[in-house]
A and B are shown apart, each in its own frame.
Chain A
């Protein structure tokens, strides 16, 4: 049956999606956190360039490096998930494909974050 109502008309009066500015706000908070944390990573890698495994492992496992790195990994993963979510919502039209992409996005960013966290903790516990 032909649908005579426009998409706008269908959602008018339904209220917000109940999330308000949450997405926007978390994107900005993680963006802010990422600035010093990313600079820390870049400077660390620049200083570690040319170092051997023992030096790199000792540095990455030290509390002063491990804690900011853990913070970066978690903040960046949240930021990445929110950013890719917007890209998917903009470009993936089919409802099924969109949901699949959104779930894959959550899985990917979660796995990358966990992999990094695992490595940093392993280095910190000195094995």
Chain B
């Protein structure tokens, strides 16, 4: 359909800017945005694995960056994007079966997955910090 505009010059239907933002719509956009962020974030995993395979010196350098405040913020965001995208995927699995399309159900699932993604991310970080003896 992308070619429709260039070939016929006909007006297309109104896009995002015409609609009132709603939670379900924002979560749909967020699912795609977290997916794209994880796409780029895969470079961090590759970097970390390569650092571990290279040797202690380079690994300590990368670990130092990861352990700095900006590094921790990026990794916290990475964790949240991962969990959020995963919960969004589970929602899609439910929808794939043809269930859960009633508006109250959709609204509930969207709110629950947003709350769960934030809660789980904080829990994972708290557990990791506690286990590593940082707190």
Q: Which residues of A contact B (CB under 8 A)?
A: 3, 6-7, 28, 31-32, 34-35, 38, 41-42, 45-47, 49-54, 56-57, 60, 73, 76-77, 80, 83-84, 87, 89-90, 92-93, 95, 109, 112, 115-116, 118-120, 122-123
Main secondary structure of the interface of B (DSSP, over half): helix
Assess whether A122 is in contact with B53, with CB atoms less than 8 Å apart: yes
Minimum Cβ distance to chain A for residue B17 (Å): 15
Q: Which of B54-88 contact A (CB under 8 A)?
A: 55-56, 59-60, 63, 79, 82, 86
Q: Which of A6, A46, A60, A95 contacts B128 (CB 8 A)?
A: A46
Q: Which residues of B contact A87 (CB under 8 A)?
A: 32, 35-36
Assess whether A46 is in contact with B59, with CB atoms less than 8 Å apart: no
Using A7-B7, A38-B86, A93-B2 as known contacts, say yes or no to A60 and B49 having CB atoms under 8 A apart: yes
Cα of A95 to Cα of B5 in the assembled complex, Å? 13
Residue of A45, A52, A73, A76 with most partner-chain B CB within 10 A = A45
B103 within 8 A of A: no
Q: Which residues of B contact A57 (CB under 8 A)?
A: 52-53, 59
Assess whether B52 is in contact with A56, with CB atoms less than 8 Å apart: yes
Q: Which residues of B contact A (CB under 8 A)?
A: 1-8, 32, 35-36, 38-39, 42-43, 45-46, 49-50, 52-53, 55-56, 59-60, 63, 79, 82, 86, 89-90, 92-93, 96, 124, 127-129, 131-134
Cα of A41 to Cα of B42 in the assembled complex, Å? 12
Q: Which residues of B contact A56 (CB under 8 A)?
A: 52, 59
